[in-house]
Each structure stands twice: as structure tokens, then as C-alpha cells.
Homo-oligomer: A and B are copies of this chain.
Amino acid sequence: MKRIAESTIRRLSLYLRFLEEFEARGLATISSDELAARGGTTSAQVRKDLSFFGSFGKRGLGYSVPELASRLRKILGLEREWRVIIIGAGKIGAALAQYHGFAERGFRITAIYDNDPLKIGRNVDGLTIRALECLPTDRESAEADIAVIAVPARAAQSTADMVVEAGIHAIMSFAPRRLAVPEDVTVKMVNMAMELEGLSFALTNRESA
């Protein structure tokens, strides 16, 4: 299978959300044009994105909403539950642990770690913060699919090493730096401050302003 662009996956994820809305409203079919309008893209883009995975539509008619939704869930791997551990119980880590939106989409948080003795043992939304040094031997981390790294930037690489050692193959990192990992480990960097800086740039460089 050819390598799929990250932007394609991001869009598939978005299409799925629109389909879920349509599903809830009981609509039977949808055209690439309607999907595109909601996603802010073009119908050709929608069809091209889908074409990497097969042909799911009917010419002249469009796509069956429930069928396409189901196919996308399968493609994105959302038919199962994923177990997520959070490392770092600071502002970001704690906020994520308390945010229930992920569980609703099949990402269950199973443990949260920190290395601050003042935090260890405390409770965050039903989860007890554990000592980071327990990570290598914990059942939860051994069974986890995804690790969220929410530690200070300088500790990010050593944390990533630990996570890789524990056999986890997917990392979502909030630290603004590249993490060196084996190539069978996928890293996604997330950083809201950087997004805000993108807006700051846009505001600063507007025509008028």
C-alpha cells in the first residue's frame, strides 16, 4: 500500500464527523460535493482521499451515509478501543485526564504518571497519579496503545525513550521538539501555543491591520 498523506487522514477524520451527523439525522446518502462543502475542501479532494482506500460510492447517486461512515471507522481503526496513558500530571496532563471527550471516541485513559512526589498518589478524575518509575513494570503501561507526553520539554526525550521501551508505538507529544524514536513508532506533535502564534502571525501581517 502506498504511503498515505497525513493531510488525507486528517480529512477522513473530519468527513467521518460529518457523516455521523448525517447518520444521526437519518440521511441515507451524501455526495462528495456536500461533504466537501462542510469540510471546506473540494469534491475532487474528497473523492481522491477516498480513492486511496477503495471505491465506496455509486455514480449518479453518491455515498451511502452509514456504509461510508463504517468504512471510515474501519480505515481509521476506530472499531476498537484504544488504551491511553498520560505522562505528566501538570496543567495539560491533568486537563486531558479530566476531559471525557476522548473516551467517547474510543480512547480510554488507563493511567497517569508523574515524577513529582507531591503529585504521586493524588487523584485525578478517578485515576491515581503514579510514580513515573513504575511505568516500566505497570500492567497498564504494558497494555497501553498510545502515550501522551505532557512533561516539560527537557524531559520529553527521556520520557519518549521510556515509552518506546515499554512497547508503545504511538505518541502524542505536547513538547515542542522532535523526538527521536524508532521508525515503527508514530509521533504526533501538538502545541496550542504554536497554533496561537500562527494566528498572531496572520494578525500581524494582514493587508490592512
Counted per complex, copies of this chain come to 2
Whether A121 is near chain B, meaning CB under 8 Å from some CB there, is no
Q: Are B38 and A178 in contact (CB under 8 A)?
A: yes
Q: Find chain B residues with CB under 8 A from A204 CB.
A: 75-77
Contact partner, A9, options B6, B40, B198, B208, Cβ 8 Å: B198
Q: Are A76 and B186 in contact (CB under 8 A)?
A: no
Binds B, one of A112-120, A132-140, A168-176: A168-176
Q: Find chain B residues with CB under 8 A from A177 CB.
A: 14, 17-18, 38-39
CB distance from A96 to the nearest CB of B (A): 8
The number of chain A residues touching the other chain, given as a range, is: 35 or more
Q: Are A91 and B82 in contact (CB under 8 A)?
A: no
Binds B, one of A43-51, A62-70, A189-197: A189-197
Enumerate A59-115 residues with CB–CB distance to B below 8 Å. Answer: 75-78, 82, 84, 91-92, 95-96, 98-102, 105-107
Q: Are B95 and A193 in contact (CB under 8 A)?
A: no
CB distance from A143 to the nearest CB of B (A): 14
15 A-B residue pairs with CB within 8 Å: A1-B205, A9-B197, A13-B198, A40-B178, A76-B197, A77-B197, A77-B200, A77-B205, A82-B200, A82-B203, A84-B196, A92-B99, A95-B99, A101-B192, A172-B196
